[in-house]
Structure 1
């Protein structure tokens, strides 16, 4: 048996990079689509004469579709083969995108977004499975760094692309942009991905599906409804969250009985996988939740346009691009427990800058904070995912990547809901403007709400002192919310402290996979 600790990992060869290119194209479509659509929500409001709560369902419906289909990915990859399934996901996602562009009402758009989400939900877990099997255990870190580029650049590039498309063309192109990318990705996948090999069919866990998929969808529906309702005591929130949580708990108790459960929680007996999964879950709650508020501050408090707000977020992506290749190489040579804490410290330092925001905070200071945060991001998410997947046997990879993706989806939804509720409740605490009401709801408008609306182009006759007071209250509300996000970032250091700090010999429990374990694609 060879000693893997002594031999340096092999470089990524052309065959592996060719496979990675297919997966990156799919990841770009899936991740960009979430952020591109987020900047189009105000356009949907005016285009379809809908309330914000109604157009928000274009995001929520997509998320619920993701949560429903991700648990099926592991079984389907083993049953049908990764190439067939990945191409089907690409086709469904692209078809859903074209349908979205033809929507004539908000109801149609939400329906088509669900179709799009059914395809998008399979792209990431199946893509991770394809890449992990292609690279083998020694090169997962470098390959995850390749996949990490769209995962980190999506939130930065999305607002820029979305703002530009809406300004120079129309909202339809937010979806139509996926048609050429999807067509290229389909042809590329057909020729680049190896042919699926026959695989013994596993029995499908129908009972597990009837508990887990609806449970996740109901739980995330309740969480997603929290910002709209404003309180967890609303029936729409607590009842759906409770039913969803009970179904998920029921699945957890049941999942250890069948030989092939829909989601194999037995994998969590692997210490590296369980610690890395928990670290990733807490990290996503902290960063993804607050990350959506960075461009909102530029839009709502500083009055920037969607394109300008997107460009102001660019330093974060630049920082991530600089450190991610280095982090990928280090993850293949040095245990992630030695590198990730330093990267998290950079995120914490950069994040702290946003707890100081005011109405006139220097853009140089904020962009510098984003750059430092990006440096940390490039050295955090992908190494943690590498640690989660590298000790799995080849036959476990599909189910392991499915588990990691579900935790990311739940963490992101929870984080977004927490930050949105805190920010909304703070803004609603602002004093009301006498005699000013919302024409759609008839409710009084607060000083902060009126100031934000004015910054975004609404024609509201506000005296200068009320406008300034409202903006100061809004900036303070954002700062308070960022303090909560900062506290969650600090909490991430707890699970990260348990990440592996030394490499175990090959073949030991929780150590590196056996050197001659077959890494095959099927």
Structure 2
């Protein structure tokens, strides 16, 4: 028996949101397991850093190619292939005999994630009609947002209770269930059946690689080093080359209605700045709770619960109202609240600070993030025609990942310029500077929201809707 439209929409939200949670979780779950991994492999701090960044690197580099594959060969088909890749890579991480093998497996895991995340958003957006899409995206954001506080908490709990390998083993049965549900409950859809443009794919992948590599290596190799400067310059030049190639291409990888949509541009820029601020703040907040207040990894994860609870509870409510009043007030108010909370913590931070003083600003920050995130998604995906939603999803997800790398790099630079790990006092000084940088990123994002259109619905124009078949 074929499920009705409402049931199919609920399944689409459930399956894609769980997949998004899994992918987002693995970007963060390793953070509280680094000490155990270092002890297991007797490895360097730089190698440990790559167990985190290798995942983000391939994730960001392969997002747009992954979206193009989904549009051409079937979004559900490629989504399932990404899940299988993610599970195989997770098992390889758990079985890694050396830290080098773990880093390689993490890169492979990021490649699977690059197929899953943008196609999850595309499948959700095509399954849910435009008048309900903002609400569905709010639920998606709420579920995936749980990964931010849950990642460090789950990592600490698993490492304390079993071993670090199980932070990866746990993915395998979850993916097995998702593969069955995706194959039976999601409807296949395609984007415009354009000819695959290998030049465009190479240009966008090379641009992302150059920019991410430069940002990741900036603090270790030096921002003025030949390696970093050449990488960043190459990334920028490839971005320019990609833009020029797109203007000439008969079948562009990113359609003109995506790049020409003010709503999409605002959503993409806002998520770049928001995610940079959020990941930068989380990176140092977790450290402050441990190094500054003496919390264990598990207790530090629990300490972030007041912040994380809002990222779960608020987005579904925000998504309901975004469809009525538009994205602009949510982007501006959300990122403004997060910026204010970052300044609040920066002002009161001190080695003798009581944890209770952090609860209120953490709730304000989490509320702001939770208000803005579904609004940026709604702007980016609702501002384009249905045939371009896959490309818009891939470009949006790429901007989010690049923003995270950019934000962490900027925030770490601010920390090192003002403080150090030498003592609790110098750490608190650097932490305050880092949060000021987070506030600046978020404030610029809020100002970006001011130019968002009042309605994110695409203008009336002919679009290629793509082929949709029953599951």
Find 1:206's aligned residue among 186, 198, 205: 198
- 1:316 is matched with 307
Q: Which residue of 2 aligns with 1:72?
A: 65
1:330 aligned residue? 321
1:377 aligns with 2:369: yes
Q: Which residue of 1 aligns with 2:392?
A: 400
Q: Check 1:502–1:32 CA distance in 2 against 1; reply closer, same or farther (3 A cut).
A: closer
Aligned partner of 1:251 in structure 2 is 242
* Equivalence for 1:433: none
CA distance in 2, matches of 1:354, 1:134: 41
Alpha-carbon deviation of 1:492?
A: 1.9
Matched, 1:487 2:408: no
Q: Which residue of 2 aligns with 1:189?
A: 182
- 1:244 positional shift: 2.3
Task: Give 1:338 shift.
Answer: 3.1
- Number of the residue aligned with 2:161: 168
1:520 offset after TM fit, Å? 4.5
**CA 59–425 in structure 1, closer or farther in 2 if over 3 Å, else same:** same
Report the CA distance between 1:181 and its aligned residue.
Answer: 0.7
TM-score computed with the length of structure 1 as normaliser: 0.84
State the distance in 1 between where 2:149 and 2:325 align: 29
Which residue does the alignment assign to 1:278?
Answer: 269
Q: Tell me how far apart the structure 2 counterparts of residues 213 and 521 of structure 1 sit (CA, whole Å).
A: 30
Distance in 1 between the 2:145 and 2:344 partners?
A: 20
How far apart are the structure 2 equivalents of 1:502 and 1:15? 27
Offset at 1:142? 0.6
Partners of 1:521 and 1:297 lie apart in 2 by: 51
- Give the Cα separation in 2 of the matches to 1:165 and 1:484: 32
Higher-Rg member (1/2): 1
Runs (5+) with no aligned partner, structure 2: none
Which has the larger share of helix?
Answer: 2
Q: Which whole-Å CA distance do the structure 2 matches of 1:317 and 1:200 have between them?
A: 38
Specify the alignment match of 1:457 in structure 2: none
Q: Deviations over 1:246-286 (max 9, x none)?
A: 22221122111112233346522112212222222222233
The reply on whether 1:20 has 2:13 as its aligned counterpart is yes
Alignment of 1:109-508 (within 5 A): 109-195=102-188, 201-229=193-221, 231-264=222-255, 267-356=258-347, 357-428=349-420, 448-449=421-422, 470-501=423-454, 508=460
- Which shows bigger deviation, 412-421 or 70-79? 70-79
- 1:68-99 deviations in Å (ceiling 9; x for gaps): 21111232122111111110000000000001
Select which of 33, 40, 45 maps to 1:52.
45
**23-32 or 243-252, which deviates more:** 243-252
Distance 2:375 2:414 in 1: 31
* CA drift at 1:42: 2.1
Q: Give the one of 59, 70, 76 matched to 1:83.
A: 76
Q: In the TM superposition, what is the alpha-carbon distance from 1:196 to its structure 2 partner?
A: 5.2
What's the C-alpha RMSD, in Å, of the aligned pairs?
A: 2.2
Q: Deviations over 1:352-382 (max 9, x none)?
A: 2221211122211212211111122221111
Match of 1:256, SS?
Answer: helix
Give the drift of 1:320: 2.5
> How many correspondences in the alignment?
464
Task: Name the counterpart of 1:432.
Answer: none
Tell me how far 1:413 sits from its aligned partner.
0.7
CA distance in 2, matches of 1:261, 1:99: 36
* Deviation (angstroms), 1:115: 1.1
Task: State how far apart, in whole Å, the 2-side matches of 1:62 and 1:367 are.
Answer: 31
CA gap 1:68/1:495 in 2 versus in 1, 3 angstroms: same
Is residue 193–residue 466 contact of structure 2 (8 Å, CA) maintained in 1?
no
CA contact (8 A) 1:358 1:472 kept: yes
Q: 1:47 to 1:479 in 2, by over 3 A?
A: same
Cα distance in 2 for residues equivalent to 1:354 and 1:152: 22
CA–CA distance in structure 2, aligned partners of residues 238 and 336 of structure 1: 37
For residues 83-141 of structure 1, give each alpha carbon's deviation from its aligned partner in whole angstroms, at most 9, with x where no partner exists. 11110000000000001100010111111111111101111100000000011211111
Change (3 A) 1:473 1:132: same
- What is the rounded CA distance, in whole Å, between the counterparts of 1:39 and 1:227 in structure 2? 21
State which drifts further: 347-356 or 86-95: 347-356
Q: Distance in 1 between matches of 2:149 and 2:368?
A: 15
CA change 1:213–1:323 in 2 (3 A) is same
In structure 2, the CA distance between the partners of 1:196 and 1:480, relative to structure 1 (3 Å rule), is closer
Q: Post-superposition shift, 1:518?
A: 9.1
